[in-house]
Structure 1
Amino acid sequence: MTQPRYDVIAIGNAIVDVIAPVTHDFLVAEELPAGSMRLIDDERAVDLYAKMGQATEISGGAAANTLAGATMLGLKTAFIGQVADDQLGEIYRHDLTAVGVDFDTPARAGDPHTGRCLVLVDPDGERTMNTSLGASQFLPAEAIDDELIGSTRVLFLEGYLWDPAEPREAMKRAIKVARAAGVQVAFATCADFCVHMHGKDFRAMIDDGLIDILFVNEEEAGILEGSDPDAAFESLAKDVPLVVMTRGADGAIAARGNERAKVSPEPVAQVKDLTGAGDLFAAGFLSGYCRDASLEESLVRGAVAAGEVISHWGARPEADLQAMVAKRLG
């Protein structure tokens, strides 16, 4: 059997993260609940950006963060997402391809601008995310290359991108192509508001057998199944071939059929920024899954990658993940 060209191809928002520290008082004054994630319009994005103070700009987006980590862990990856034909779009493409992720989706001419996420990090390391989707919400179905989708082992889909109609149709088409080509479909619910808004769609995809790997945190699982997280996990495990549920300070668990595995979080000297923790956990897990590692090893890889990214600002790893994983696995 011919080996796929790619290990993981992901479809997601092309977003530049603008990260800045803020006080609890700032969040209260701006009426932003700590840890919340919301979509904002261009006017609010400009207003909030002006109030943030000194910031760090890093190319991000949940699926792209996952690909960056997976690539650093040795996987061959590609990204499908929409940037604008502007300076931020050029920066975004350069940042992603410099890591080793293939990204050939043509830029979109005209307005709106390349998307951005204003990430406000409080003294507890909790991030409050305010996203202006910009061009990313106009990814067309025509951007889906059937041959490209068929050339990967795993197609990874970002739940955030399910909200805008155009990229939702693009992902539906990609799923159809993937199923026909025997490609595994992985789906990350990404945030509680995504599940509140589109839980019925997510559940329908599960019921229709369209999702092979589900990445979810315990809150999202509870919302999706309408129960406590433990019961939700077991319910999902009956209907999805592989479920991975992160549990914050309690680590993560995975289920594949009757098989169960769990992992504790990696020790971190100081949590500086939780941005990207779930994205990098998925990266680490996939780095094991795509190399036919056990559930236990895949979870450990996820924990190591997540632990590294929360130890510094930004959602992209700064240390040698492969060396960290090798040391942890002994």
Structure 2
Amino acid sequence: MTTAPRFDVLAIGNAIVDVMAAADDALLAREGLHKGGMALIDAERATSLYAAMGPAQEISGGSAANTLAGLAGLGCTCAFVGQVADDQLGEVFAHDVRAMGISFTTAARPSEPPTARCLILVTPDGQRTMNTFLGASQFLPASALDASLIRDAAILYLEGYLWDPEEPRAAMRAAIDAARSAGRKVAFTLSDAFVIDRHRSDFLDLIDQGQIDILFANDAEIQSLAQIDSFEGAVAAIADKVPLLVVTRSADGAIAVRNGERFEVAAEPVDKVVDTTGAGDLFAAGFLAGQTQGKDIETSLRMGAIAAAEIISHFGARPTVDLKALTAQKLG
């Protein structure tokens, strides 16, 4: 008999500190950056780009960790597995995660490379251009996993970004096996079209083998996964293969498809879009919070939209208000 879980969600993802600065289109052009995109960079490029940035602020980030921050703010019990180095940014990341009440017990890596960082340039239209140096995060070994911790979570949440390096990929495969053997659900976020381009066959295999219970994507990602240049066509191609598909569409809201039934929600209005960093991460947080709290699909979608709207109204990918109170107010 399956025992009641201690955690609502356990996430495995990149342990990253975001370094954010305002920028104009001219800077993006000079640096050869694709506006609104995400690129992986090496240590040398991280140094040169940081030198070109204006005044910056450091905020703990990472896609899955951002989602947990939202979940914790919505009253969920959470745990995180990710690799930092034994350095200053590693201490910053660990402190920030634990300060939110999230369990984080992964031992710091004692040697090079340093803790991962994401250099984010935010243009006046709120678009964020991300340049990620993965550093220590790409060396998360399967040995860092605690199978009992995975079995103790109702949902295992995996970040597609972390599928790229070999060691974390093996760790996530082991985590999926542990979660499924314990009768827990597995949620997966596709993260970015460039990740899908590199690992499409792996992701489709996971879906076809019934390893994914909840799949998160945005409109570009679902089309990339299905290799269909049509939103509706891509949704139709993937929805029948996964128990629950959730797709965000920026200003056009979001949809979910479960057992052939489609649900839709409009985007929550915001006075001004300041920074879109973390919008998808917080949407996933709201939706998963709704699901772990027994809400229906429509309510869960609405919770995701509320959390996403809060995050794009300010700099940074971590909530700045009481999400639980905000959601209760918005839902009535």
For normalisation by structure 2, the TM-score amounts to: 0.98
* Rounded Cα–Cα distance in structure 1 between residues aligned with 2:242 and 2:288: 16
* Rounded Cα–Cα distance in structure 2 between residues aligned with 1:188 and 1:2: 26
Q: Percent identity?
A: 57
The letter of the residue matching 2:116 is: G
The letter of the residue matching 2:290 is: G
State how 1:171-186 maps to structure 2 within 5 Å.
Answer: 171-186=172-187
Name the counterpart of 1:41.
Answer: 42
* Rounded Cα–Cα distance in structure 1 between residues aligned with 2:34 and 2:163: 23
For normalisation by structure 1, the TM-score amounts to: 0.99
State how 1:259-298 maps to structure 2 within 5 Å.
Answer: 259-298=261-300
Q: 1:7-65, CA deviations, whole angstroms, 9 ceiling, x for partnerless residues?
A: 00000000000000000000001010101100000000011001101001000000000
State how 1:87-236 maps to structure 2 within 5 Å.
Answer: 87-227=88-228, 228-236=230-238
Comparing 192-201 with 58-67, which one deviates more in the overlay? Answer: 192-201
Name the counterpart of 1:309.
Answer: 311
* Rounded Cα–Cα distance in structure 2 between residues aligned with 1:71 and 1:318: 13
Name the counterpart of 1:23.
Answer: 24
The letter of the residue matching 1:67 is: L
Name the counterpart of 2:252.
Answer: 250
Q: 1:182-218, CA deviations, whole angstroms, 9 ceiling, x for partnerless residues?
A: 1100000011101111111100100011000000011
Runs of 4+ residues over 4 Å off in structure 1 = none
Matched, 1:84 2:89: no
Question: What value does the CA root-mean-square deviation take over the aligned residues?
Answer: 0.7
Comparing 233-242 with 294-303, which one deviates more in the overlay? Answer: 233-242
* Rounded Cα–Cα distance in structure 2 between residues aligned with 1:132 and 1:55: 16
* Rounded Cα–Cα distance in structure 2 between residues aligned with 1:255 and 1:55: 40
Residues matched between the structures, number: 330
SS in 2 for 1:130: strand
* Rounded Cα–Cα distance in structure 2 between residues aligned with 1:222 and 1:82: 31
* Rounded Cα–Cα distance in structure 2 between residues aligned with 1:234 and 1:324: 34
* Rounded Cα–Cα distance in structure 2 between residues aligned with 1:116 and 1:177: 29
Q: Tell me, which stretches of 5 or more residues in structure 1 are unaligned? A: none
Q: 1:258, CA displacement in angstroms?
A: 2.3
* Rounded Cα–Cα distance in structure 2 between residues aligned with 1:100 and 1:265: 29
SS in 2 for 1:327: helix
